[in-house]
Chain A
Amino acid sequence: MSDSFWFQSTDSHVIGRVRIALALVTGCYFVSAMTDVSTWFAVGAPASSSNLAGFFREAGLESDARWMISPLFLWDSIFAGTGLSESTAVYQIYLVIGVLIAFGVAALSTERVLIWRIPRLLRGSLPVVLLWIWFVGWANRIVLLAGLVEPVLSLSLAALAIAPVCREGVSWRNHFATRLIAVQGSLVLIATTALMLAGNVWWNGTGAYAMIAPVEDRWLDIRESLFETTWVYELVSAITLLSLPVGLMMAWTSKWKRIGIGLILVWCFLVALLSMKILYALTIAIIAFTLGTGNISRRYFQSHESRSHQE
């Protein structure tokens, strides 16, 4: 890859907005985890540290579990035998701090915060590094309960941490972080397409149906609806399958970027609607705005801003 692909001095216009959006998604993720902490992580609960340790020992997965590093495992281990270990309150506090860091990063990335004096320490990468570490700490702690959003969000936050938080002047780190998020996202989406094609349902036209078929675990109940018409679910399956690779290819061309990003957004909408993986779809949608060789995202944001100014 050419040097200028990775290294250009860019302002923080695009990465700033991507940072705000990803921080908000991370904040929502922490909030969603608060709802059932006592069900899973309290003393004697299925995913409590002691139960998980026993499970990994029994399954012979200790070598794998060794690298699942989390401050919460460390905490439970240090305070083992006391009321502080495997305490619901401690886990809730961890999540509340996570929400505060996430929304703090989002606030620091907006221009409005600049009316106050922000300490120099918080102007660089530190807040996002902290958010990433906090997020990884939680994702590693929940282990078997983690889903699709965690790896994608972890990759994106790690790349995001390269760029400084406050929007002052131009920096090559803004561009490098944007490119890394885009390339990582493309890699995940290419892998997703290949993995989808490994299943028969995406060849016989029932892929979209298979996504929404477990109606007990979905918001929508498509039974006896228009979605059960053959041409409808086959068309939706074809759109879900094709919009991703076609959108990705178009997004990386200079001429069709907007349409390409639009197709990826359509894919995200369908995934959120049919499989209820809302935070995952949101994360991919945010990543989509970093795709492309030029800076369409900036142009997109600017045209929206100028339109709102005119209104």
Chain B
Amino acid sequence: MNASPKRKRRDKRRSTQDAPARQPSLAKEASGSQNSGPGDTESELSNTVPANRVPANSVAATNLPGPIVRRTLVALVVIHLLIIGLSFSAIVQPGATHNQLLQVASPYLRGTHFAADGRPFFLAHGTPDEQPHRLQVADSGDSVGSQFVFDVTTDWKNVQPDFFPGLAASDRYQRWIVTAATLAATDQPSLAAMMLQPLLQKNPSNDAARIIRLPTQLTTAEQDAAPPVYLARVVRDDEQLDLISIESPRLTTQARQNQPQGNAGGAMEGKTK
């Protein structure tokens, strides 16, 4: 397709404007760009000397690495890109072979922090772990006797992120709590407890802790009414702090009012720490 007169004028004007900026570097590679004719606009504009268009005795040609080095570098780049592709393609649900390959590439991927490591590069999938998560604590102010009883009237206080939402500090809080919630949801409450213990250590009046998912405009009423992702009683013994996780009941037809008091929603108390 022929360029329009307007386009030609614009190109000419741009060429005139660009000339002073290009001049010094063009002078430096004068010997290397001898083969670029006046019609070679792209080459002039980009100020580059392709490997296959330079005379062998020019400065630019001597600047390029030899063919063996070039082939080696390209081979290394291809391997590098394959490994990166392997890591990023494992984000949603990697297969067994995929996982084995990732294990082999682990020293390279983790040592350099190139690993995607299952992070949400998809930005949003509308899953529960994308809801805002909050760590909440309750103290024994309303309890009777030594055993802290918590129920629907318990006053839970949010442990808020340090800084404004959306900033890096707030993101770190969110990632930490989401990881703990994920561990709790996958039947690993002891690992969740390990992540939460240091956050609860500072305040000696905390008697219970839980992680909740805040409702969003996309969550259903059923999801909003779901029990906390993690619920635990805080037990202190001298300097030692333990979290006794309380598991939520599953698939029960028992009426709420018939369930035993002392556990939120009739939860079963587990001995996981």
Supply 9 further A-B pairs (C-beta < 8 A) apart from A55-B195, A59-B188: A46-B195, A59-B191, A146-B117, A183-B77, A199-B127, A207-B124, A214-B130, A214-B131, A302-B21
A195-B121, A294-B46, A306-B21 as given contacts; A36 in contact with B216, CB under 8 Å: no
- A285 in contact (CB, < 8 A): no
Chain B residue at minimum C-beta to C-beta distance from A158: B112
- B28 in contact (CB, < 8 A): yes
- B201 in contact (CB, < 8 A): yes
A8-B48, A147-B119, A214-B131 as given contacts; A201 in contact with B107, CB under 8 Å: no
Q: What are 24 A-B contacts with C-beta separation under 8 Å?
A: A1-B74, A6-B70, A10-B46, A10-B47, A11-B47, A32-B168, A35-B169, A36-B169, A47-B176, A51-B198, A140-B110, A144-B179, A145-B175, A158-B112, A183-B77, A187-B84, A199-B126, A201-B124, A213-B130, A213-B217, A214-B216, A228-B217, A299-B45, A305-B21
- B255 in contact (CB, < 8 A): no
- What are the residues of chain B within 8 A of A17 when measuring CB–CB? none
Asked if B111 contacts A69 (CB within 8 A), the reply is yes
Asked if A217 contacts B174 (CB within 8 A), the reply is yes
Q: Which of B67-109 contact A (CB under 8 A)?
A: 70, 73-74, 77, 81, 84-85, 88-89, 91-92, 106-107, 109
Q: Which of B22, B73, B115, B171 has the most CB of A within 10 A?
A: B171
- B185 in contact (CB, < 8 A): no
Q: Which of A172-223 contact B (CB under 8 A)?
A: 172, 175-176, 180, 183-184, 187-188, 191-192, 194-196, 198-202, 206-207, 209-211, 213-219, 223
State which of A18-26, A100-108, A116-124, A271-279 sits at the interface with chain B.
A271-279
A170-B63, A191-B88, A195-B92 as given contacts; A271 in contact with B166, CB under 8 Å: no
Query: Which residue numbers of B lie inside 8 Å of A, CB to CB?
Result: 14, 17-18, 20-22, 25, 28-29, 32, 42, 45-54, 60, 63-65, 70, 73-74, 77, 81, 84-85, 88-89, 91-92, 106-107, 109-117, 119-127, 130-132, 162-172, 174-176, 179, 188, 190-191, 194-196, 198-199, 201, 214, 216-218
A223 CA / B201 CA spacing, docked (Å): 36
Interchain CB contact (< 8 A) of A196 among B106, B122, B216? B122
Query: Which residue numbers of A lie inside 8 Å of B, CB to CB?
Result: 1-4, 6-11, 13, 29, 32-33, 35-36, 39-40, 44-48, 51, 54-55, 58-59, 63-64, 67-69, 135-136, 139-140, 142, 144-148, 150-151, 154-155, 158, 169-172, 175-176, 180, 183-184, 187-188, 191-192, 194-196, 198-202, 206-207, 209-211, 213-219, 223, 228, 240, 254, 271, 275-279, 294-295, 298-299, 302-303, 305-306, 310
Asked if A303 contacts B14 (CB within 8 A), the reply is yes
Asked if B201 contacts A44 (CB within 8 A), the reply is yes
Q: Which of A211, A228, A254 has the most CB of B within 10 A?
A: A211
A167 CA / B166 CA spacing, docked (Å): 37
A186 CA / B39 CA spacing, docked (Å): 31
A58-B191, A139-B113, A170-B63 as given contacts; A183 in contact with B176, CB under 8 Å: no
Shortest distance from the beta carbon of A209 to any chain B beta carbon, whole Å: 6
Chain A residue at minimum C-beta to C-beta distance from B88: A191
Chain B residue at minimum C-beta to C-beta distance from A11: B25
A9-B32, A51-B194, A200-B126 as given contacts; A147 in contact with B171, CB under 8 Å: yes
Asked if A154 contacts B113 (CB within 8 A), the reply is yes
A150 CA / B92 CA spacing, docked (Å): 19
- What are the residues of chain A within 8 A of B216 when measuring CB–CB? 213-215
Shortest distance from the beta carbon of A30 to any chain B beta carbon, whole Å: 10
Asked if A191 contacts B85 (CB within 8 A), the reply is yes
A196-B123, A218-B166 as given contacts; A147 in contact with B175, CB under 8 Å: yes
Shortest distance from the beta carbon of A153 to any chain B beta carbon, whole Å: 9
- What are the residues of chain A within 8 A of B74 when measuring CB–CB? 1, 3, 6
A35 CA / B220 CA spacing, docked (Å): 36
A211 CA / B124 CA spacing, docked (Å): 5
Asked if A44 contacts B198 (CB within 8 A), the reply is yes
A16 CA / B89 CA spacing, docked (Å): 31
- What are the residues of chain B within 8 A of A155 when measuring CB–CB? 84, 114
- What are the residues of chain A within 8 A of B176 when measuring CB–CB? 40, 46-47, 144-145
Shortest distance from the beta carbon of A219 to any chain B beta carbon, whole Å: 5
Shortest distance from the beta carbon of B125 to any chain A beta carbon, whole Å: 3
Asked if B84 contacts A184 (CB within 8 A), the reply is yes
Q: Which of B54, B120, B123, B172 has the most CB of A within 10 A?
A: B123
Asked if A217 contacts B119 (CB within 8 A), the reply is no
Asked if B88 contacts A148 (CB within 8 A), the reply is no
Closest 6 pairs between A and B when the two form their complex, measured CB to CB: A199-B125, A276-B166, A295-B46, A195-B122, A32-B168, A191-B88
- What are the residues of chain A within 8 A of B92 when measuring CB–CB? 195, 198
Chain A residue at minimum C-beta to C-beta distance from B213: A214
Shortest distance from the beta carbon of A263 to any chain B beta carbon, whole Å: 16
Asked if B18 contacts A302 (CB within 8 A), the reply is yes
Asked if B25 contacts A13 (CB within 8 A), the reply is yes
Asked if A36 contacts B163 (CB within 8 A), the reply is yes
- What are the residues of chain B within 8 A of A9 when measuring CB–CB? 29, 32, 48-49, 54, 60, 63-64
Asked if B165 contacts A172 (CB within 8 A), the reply is no
